[in-house]
Amino acid sequence: MKGFLYLEDGSIYEGKIFGKKGIAIGEIVFNTAMTGYQETLTDPSYAGQIINMTYPNIGNYGTNKFDMESNKVYAKGLVVKNLCNIPSNYKSEESLEEFLNKMNVVGIYGVDTRSITKKIRSTGTMRCVISDKEMKREDIESTMNSYHWDKNFVQMVSRKSMERINGNGHRVGIIDFGIKKNIIEKFKELNCDITLLPYNATLEEIDKLKLDGVFLSNGPGDPKSLLETVEVVKKLIVKYPTFGICLGHQIISLALGADTYKMKYGHRGGNHGVYDIEKDKAFITSQNHSYAVDMESIKDKNIIITHTNLNDNTVEGIKHKYLPVFSVQFHPEGSPGPEDTDYLFHRFMKNIEINKISKSA
Residues designated as active site: 246, 331, 333
Tell whether 110 is in a known binding site: no
Integer angstrom CA distances of residue 74 from 14, 71, 227: 24, 9, 23
45 is in an annotated binding site: yes
Q: How far is 73 from 96, CA to CA, in rounded Å?
A: 12
Whether residue 288 is annotated as binding a ligand: the answer is yes
**Which value, in Å, is the radius of gyration of the alpha carbons in the chain?**
21
| Cα torsion through 330, 334, 339, 340, rounded to 10 | -20
Q: Where are the beta strands (DSSP E) in 12-105?
A: 12-19, 23-31, 49-53, 57-58, 77-80, 82-83
CA distance 140 to 126: 13
Distance CA 239, CA 216 (A): 14
SS3 302: coil
Kind of pairing, strands 82-83 and 2-7?
Answer: unpaired
Cβ(42)–Cβ(20) under 8 Å? Answer: no
Rounded CA separation 308/279 (Å): 12
Helices marked H in 65-148 — which ranges? Answer: 96-102, 113-123, 137-144
Put the strands of the sheet holding 303-309 in their side by side order: 163-165, 193-198, 171-176, 213-216, 242-245, 325-328, 315-320, 303-309, 260-276, 281-293
Answer yes or no: is 250 a known binding residue: yes
Distance CA 355, CA 268 (A): 35
> Is 221 assigned to a binding site?
yes
Pick from 236, 242, 158, 238: nearest CA to 200 = 158
Omega of the bond prior to 338 within 30 degrees of 0, cis? yes
Binding residue numbers for L-glutamine: 45, 219, 221, 247, 250, 288, 291
